[in-house]
Every structure is written in structure tokens, then in C-alpha cells.
Amino acid sequence: MVAPDLIGCLLVKRQAKQKKLWGVIVETEAYSQSEPACHGYNKRTPKNETLFGPPGNFYVYLTYGMYYCVNIVTHKSNWANGVLIRSIALPNEDERIASGPGLLAKRFGFSRDFDNQPISSKNKFWIVERMPAIKMQTIISTTRVGISKAKDLSWRWYLQSSRSVSKRAKGDRCPPLSTAWKPSLKEYS
DNA sequence: TTCACGATTCTA
DNA sequence: AGAATCGTGAAG
């Protein structure tokens, strides 16, 4: 499964002057054509066309008229499959700066321009493999947020020790600052 | 052409 | 609980 495997991976953006913006993915959700909450469930339209495209591209759309949501297209062409990136923890920044899909897209400067663009270090955005240290941490699997259909599926994953998770599962307390996990420079070599 | 509705977030 | 805000698809 791609969605849980993305937890702990880095999203990197190339900026001006050789600078890079990066953060650790701490919350994701999976969507599939087989299930009614997916944008590609009903029919293939210009709006969701990207989701049917080749895996490894971004699928970026405007939601509620004011926020962008960023997905990674997965699985295979002609089958709607994607992973919504819901939260990212950035080093030396407020833990809520990119907590939630809308805020995340805002912090990283996503817009429709990046829809259907390949995720690659040749381009502006790419993904870096998850750091080994993350593998020792607990990853929670729970239900997805903000949907009205297929609410029962546990297709959301998040890093329990992170305070940047947008919404926690029932009974899961936000870890105190003293014990919480934080992204640090040594995670990006 | 009109209308209802979100894979959200912030404020009261 | 409600507002802000707008592109899309279905309905008339």
C-alpha cells in the first residue's frame, strides 16, 4: 500500500537560489475507483482525468472554492487511484503550518498549475524515501476525514508521535511537546 | 442558465 | 454551528 508507505517520506520543493523547501509527510489517505468517496468513482470527466492518468503524477484540485488538495496518482493508468497528502511537518516551523490538505498546499505553493505534473527531481517537486528512524514509530490506521460516503473504510494513516496531524483518531491524544517527534535536518542528507 | 455541493479552515 | 468562496456536473 502506497499511502502508509508515504508516511515518513519527504516532500521536497526546489526553490530559487538552490534553496529547497522540505517536510516530512505525517498523514495520508487513499482513494480508489472501487469506492464512492473517490473522485473517479462515477465517471471519467475532465475534472478527474488526472486521476486516471499515469501513476507518479500529482493530482491537484480546488476544494470548497478556496483550498487546493494535493494527491499522488498511484497504481495504474485508466484506473482512478490516488493518495491525498493531508499533513506535513516542517523543520523549525509551527507544527500546524501544513497540518491539513488545504494548509499543506498553501505552504508549499501548490496550484492547478501542478496538476498532472510528474513528481521528479527533474521538476519542482519530488519525494525522498522514508528515513529508517520513522519505521520504528507507530503509524495509526483510521477512517478518512471530510467525506460523506464510504466512511467506514480505514484508509487514513498518520504518524502517531507527530503533533502536525490534522485530526486524530478517537481516543488518540496529541503527544505532549516533550515526547513528540519532530523533523530535523539530519533527516535530509 | 440555474443550482447544489464538496477529500477545508477559521471564527463565534 | 456557520461562513467564506467557486468550479463542476446535473437538472430544468
Q: Find and list the nucleotides of strand B having atoms within 7 Å of a protein beta carbon.
A: 6-10
* Cα pseudo-dihedral A26, A31, A35, A37, rounded to 10: 80
How much is the average pLDDT of A120-132? 94
- Strand pairing report for A139-142 and A156-159: antiparallel
Protein residue nearest nucleotide B6, by CA to C1': A64
> Does residue A73 reach within 7 angstroms of strand B, measured from its CB?
no
Prediction pTM value: 0.96
CA separation, residue A1 to residues A110, A138, A155 (Å): 25, 16, 10
Side chain identity, residue A179: T
The answer to whether residue A189 scores a pLDDT higher than 70 is no
> Does residue A149 reach within 7 angstroms of strand C, measured from its CB?
no
* Distance of alpha carbon A108 from alpha carbon A35, whole angstroms: 29
Domain A2-159 has CATH 1.10.1060.10: no
- For A87, half-sphere exposure in the C-beta direction (CA atoms, 13 angstrom radius) is 24
Other beta carbons within 10 Å of A161: 16
Q: Closest Cα partner for A152 from A51, A6, A37?
A: A37
pLDDT tens for residues A26-57?
Answer: 999 999 999 999 999 999 999 999 999 999 99
Q: Find and list the nucleotides of strand C having atoms within 7 Å of a protein beta carbon.
A: 4-10
Side chain identity, residue A10: L
How much is the average pLDDT of A87-95? 97
pLDDT tens for residues A12-27?
Answer: 999 999 999 999 999 9
